[in-house]
Amino acid sequence: MKTPVLFLIAILTPVLLCSTLLVPAFAGMFAADYLVYMPSSGPHPMADKWMDPFMIYDTYGVLLDYWFKNRASLDFVEHTLPIFGAPLAGAILSLWLTYALGKRLFNLFHLSASIN
């Protein structure tokens, strides 16, 4: 394999792996926050804060804490499903994307080794 291609792969591989691990999990937490705090009318209170991962993480922690304290009285569809379903879907998507990327990278190096 050529040196510039190896250099690009060496730079892009960690970035792609971090992206495939963190972006779906962040999207799942944001979806949970967004669905639980859905207003009846007007602009959404979290619409302008979606790029702040620390605020999303803290808000999700508050949601979990509230759910653990009041789980007997909360509705399943309005609270439990968004709080646990969206992050679970993000985690499953994250694992699948990481597996697919790892398989493609393995095939890339396997192919380049068989050409030489």
Residue 116 has pLDDT above 70, yes or no: no
- The answer to whether 94 touches 21, Cβ cutoff 8 Å, is yes
Residue 43 pLDDT:
74
Dist CA 36 CA 77 (whole Å): 10
Residues 6+ apart with CB under 8 A from 55: 49
- The answer to whether 15 touches 43, Cβ cutoff 8 Å, is no
Residues 6+ apart with CB under 8 A from 39: 45
Residue 69 pLDDT:
92
Residue 49 pLDDT:
74
Report pLDDT digits (tens) over 52-100: 888 888 888 988 999 999 988 988 888 889 889 999 999 999 999 989 9
- Selection from 57, 63, 55 nearest residue 37 by Cα: 63
Report pLDDT digits (tens) over 4-31: 777 788 888 888 888 888 889 888 988 8
